[in-house]
Amino acid sequence: MELGIGMFGDLQINANGEIQPAQQRLQEIIEEIKLMDEVGLDFYGIGEHHRPDYAVSSPEIILAAAATVTKNIKLSSAVSVLSSSDPVKLYQNFATIDLISNGRAELMAGRGSFIESFPLFGYDLRDYDQLYEEKLDLLLKINASPKISWKGKFRPELNNQEILPRAVNDNLKIWVAVGGTPESVERAGRLGLPVMFAIIGGQPIQFKPLFDYYKKVYQAYGHDMNKFEVGVHMHSLFGEDSKEVADYYYPLYSAQMNRVGKSRGWPPYQRNQFDGGRSISGALIIGDVNESVEKILAMEETFGLTRFSAHMDVGGPSHAALMKSIELFGTKIAPKVREALKK
């Protein structure tokens, strides 16, 4: 099982509502990725957002910068909003990162949990499903062949056109991110694509039927089980002392849940939700080394994971807190998880 970190580039927001400058956060992110590589984590993913509380609108630029200061870590989006992107340019950008990084780039395609990119780039939300279907089809065709002819509804057709540059070994690793819809799971299984499930609330065990369904569909379409890959993305923060890290993180985490929830009609986030999420049956991995090891191993045992992604910057923890969390993940948590999985 690969162990790594996902981020959205959350900006820190103080009690007066003042937002951290994006320039500062972007420089911190590069320093954080460099540490991830140094402590031996397997991958890093960064999300795409077009909102004032996030620093990153172009994951590929962050990943290209990170490629020049790292040696081993895989570099991925988490996610690229495929529905409002041009698959041709998206492939070219990630193929370029792949060449710069000597084959370490991956692309994770998703619909996006926010909708700001649709009006920003001139797309109609009424076409939400059709956009994703069509653009995923084109992206996969580009990845499979350097020269293609293609016609769709939402972009000009391609007539025997060559898409360059090509990724290392002429193959870019493409994941898909899913929330909880059977339709998304079925599509990924049918296409034989690796899947990252976002489990960010409730009890993870509730997702077990979707994991089982994905595997069933994947096998039914005759895909090679030796290439089967499935991961989870879960809100996480690690510290030396469980109570300390929880008490530090709760105000930041709850503030972000309330910012997002305000536009979605969620009730105010409560401490008992947070503490319930931190329990062994909950979806938050926020605590000390031993608690985190136990919970990550429980996720692997429950779902048969090949990848675990700790989403570590929800609500904008300080750079110091993130660096400490990364250090603990790489030097203490990951070695214990890997050792346990050998048994």
Domain ranges (residues) in the chain = 2-341
DSSP bridge partners of 309: 4, 233
Own/partner contacts of 278-285, CB < 8 Å, gap of 24 or more, are 278/246, 281/203, 281/204, 281/205, 282/203, 282/204, 283/199, 283/200, 283/201, 283/202, 283/203, 283/204, 283/234, 283/235, 284/234, 284/235, 284/236, 285/234, 285/235, 285/236, 285/237, 285/238, 285/310
Q: pLDDT class for 340, splitting at 50, 70, 90?
A: very high
Of residues 80 and 114, the one with the higher pLDDT is: 80
Amino acid at 155: R
Provide the CATH topology of domain 2-341.
Answer: TIM Barrel (3.20.20)
Q: Is the pLDDT score of 112 beyond 90?
A: no
Q: With contact defined as beta carbons under 8 Å apart, do 225 and 219 qualify?
A: yes
Distance from C-alpha of 127 to C-alpha of 160, rounded to nearest angstrom: 27
The two structure tokens encoding residue 220: 């039914």
Q: Is the pLDDT score of 49 beyond 90?
A: yes
Q: Could you report how far apart the first and last alpha carbons of the chain are, in Å?
A: 13
Of 308, 335, 276, 334, the residue nearest 5 (C-alpha): 308
Q: Tell me what pLDDT residue 251 has.
A: 97
Outline where DSSP puts E strands in 30-150: 43-46, 74-77, 80-81, 105-110, 147-150
Q: With contact defined as beta carbons under 8 Å apart, do 198 and 179 qualify?
A: yes
Q: pLDDT class for 331, splitting at 50, 70, 90?
A: very high
Residues 6+ apart with CB under 8 A from 73: 4, 33, 36, 37, 41, 42, 43, 44, 66, 104
277: DSSP letter: H
Q: Tell me what pLDDT residue 263 has.
A: 83
Q: Tell me what pLDDT residue 91 has.
A: 98
- pLDDT for 173-200, tens place per residue? 999 999 888 999 999 999 999 999 999 9
Number of helices (H), then strands (E), belonging to the chain: the values are: 12, 12
Give the torsion sign (CA, 217, 137, 74, 85). Answer: negative
Q: Is the pLDDT score of 15 beyond 90?
A: no
Q: With contact defined as beta carbons under 8 Å apart, do 242 and 287 qualify?
A: yes
Q: With contact defined as beta carbons under 8 Å apart, do 97 and 110 qualify?
A: no
- pLDDT for 260-301, tens place per residue? 998 888 999 999 999 999 999 999 999 999 999 999 999 999
Distance from C-alpha of 76 to C-alpha of 72, rounded to nearest angstrom: 13
- pLDDT for 116-145, tens place per residue? 999 999 999 999 999 999 999 999 999 999
DSSP states along 242-261: HHHHHHHHHHHHHHHHHHHH
DSSP bridge partners of 310: 5, 234
Q: pLDDT class for 40, splitting at 50, 70, 90?
A: very high
Which helix (H) or strand (E) element contains residue 274?
A: helix 271-278
Q: Is the pLDDT score of 18 beyond 90?
A: yes
**Cα 260–Cα 262–Cα 268 angle in degrees, nearest 5:** 95
Q: With contact defined as beta carbons under 8 Å apart, do 320 and 26 qualify?
A: no
Distance from C-alpha of 276 to C-alpha of 270, rounded to nearest angstrom: 10
Q: Tell me what pLDDT residue 180 has.
A: 81
Q: What percent of the chain has pLDDT over 70?
A: 100
Distance from C-alpha of 154 to C-alpha of 316, rounded to nearest angstrom: 36
